[in-house]
Amino acid sequence: MPLTVVVGGFFGDCGKGKIISHLALRDKVKIVARGGVGPNAGHTVIHEGVAYRLRQIPSGFIQQGARLLIGPGVLVSPGILLEEVKLTNTRDRLGLDRQVGIIEEKHIDEDTKSAYLKKRIGTTGTGCGPAQQERAKRTLKVGQEVDVLKDFLTDVPLEINEALEKERNILLEGTQGTYLSLYHGTYPYVTSKDITASAICADVGVGPKRVDDVVVVFKAYVTRVGGGPLENELSEKEAKRKGWYEIATVTRRVRRSAPFNFDLARRAIMLNSGTKIALTKLDVVFPKDRAKTKWVELSAEARKFVARVEEEIKTPVAFIGTGPGSHQIIDRTIV
């Protein structure tokens, strides 16, 4: 490892939670740190038959003993966070940076009442955009000002960098996907900040020289929620026929879908300095390959698709998701 960044390649909803949980277990990581925006993004982890839909707690929590950190660049909704702490039983492992931004009810009200954000952009209504506005004005409340969070407060950059000095395995968890980045996405149909790998590092206080691997996660087809362009978009009827019809974790809205986009994938690798690809939901495109855990078990059609991804994007496909469970994966880095 010892420092791996995991980010989304398209428009989010790509299976980062699955990949992060796999890497956390495989490498017995000491720290899983969350960067990104805030509770506007949901990560789903299915482990030992239980589905955890998380918006704040890092997906690698299933690695028992791992320290779970939320960096100063992240927005926190105290209510959502404390619910997830209880759900995951991670109170004694969680650390919040003193400068995490705090989402309040006024931010949610402003977000949900904006016709422009709601109808045109497709905001999740979680208050992240208005909170980011306040942060830019230097008026946003931060973690050290919230009494119910005081037991979790720590210096996240210091913890991570001290662990790196000891060569501990660390995962940095991004949110959403490259093309929802405020700077590199399909503006104005984007989120409220940058979410590429370099930004995730900045969110937790890690410099670029510290990074060993950047895993960019792509679904075997493309989905996005809300407004914005989607090349070769399928009708809802066609998406249902193919099995690509999905409901978003946070908003519960229908995800729009389209075939895998090689041009977008190539650019996402460039923007993130990706070293490895994780290709998820291969079993949705190739149903007979569901739950396969070895490369040699995959159908010829599936292997051909993976080979094309590697050839066109010039980056190895290291991980292949073949089902929703944390163990339904092909890890090609294990010999």
List active site positions: 13, 43
Could you give the 3-state DSSP secondary structure of residue 247? strand
Please give the chain's pLDDT, 335 residues, in tens: 699 999 999 999 899 989 999 999 999 999 999 999 999 878 888 888 888 889 999 999 999 999 999 999 999 999 999 999 999 999 999 999 999 999 999 999 888 876 666 655 666 788 999 999 999 999 999 999 999 999 999 999 999 999 999 999 999 999 999 999 999 999 999 999 999 999 999 999 999 999 999 999 999 999 998 889 999 999 989 999 998 888 776 667 788 999 999 999 999 999 999 999 999 999 999 999 999 999 999 999 999 999 999 999 999 999 999 998 888 999 999 87
In whole numbers, what is the pLDDT of the chain averaged over residues?
A: 93
Cα–Cα dist 199/98, whole Å: 19
Cα–Cα dist 20/10, whole Å: 17
Q: Tell me the one-letter amino acid at 199.
A: A
- Per the CB < 8 A criterion, the answer to whether 219 and 15 are in contact is yes
Q: What is the pLDDT of residue 48?
A: 80
First-residue to last-residue Cα distance in the chain: 16
- What backbone phi and psi angles, to 5 degrees, belong to 187? -55, 135
* Tens digits of residue pLDDT in 48-74: 888 888 999 999 999 999 999 999 999
> What CATH number is given to the structural domain containing 262?
3.40.440.10
- Per the CB < 8 A criterion, the answer to whether 71 and 97 are in contact is yes
Angle at 117 between CA 115 and CA 118, to 5 degrees: 65
Q: What's the domain count of the chain?
A: 1
Q: Tell me the one-letter amino acid at 288.
A: K
Q: What is the pLDDT of residue 41?
A: 78
Hey, what are 277's tokens?
Answer: 């690809």
Give the Cβ contact number of residue 55 at 10 Å.
20
Q: What is the pLDDT of residue 120?
A: 59
Structural domain including 230 reads 3-331
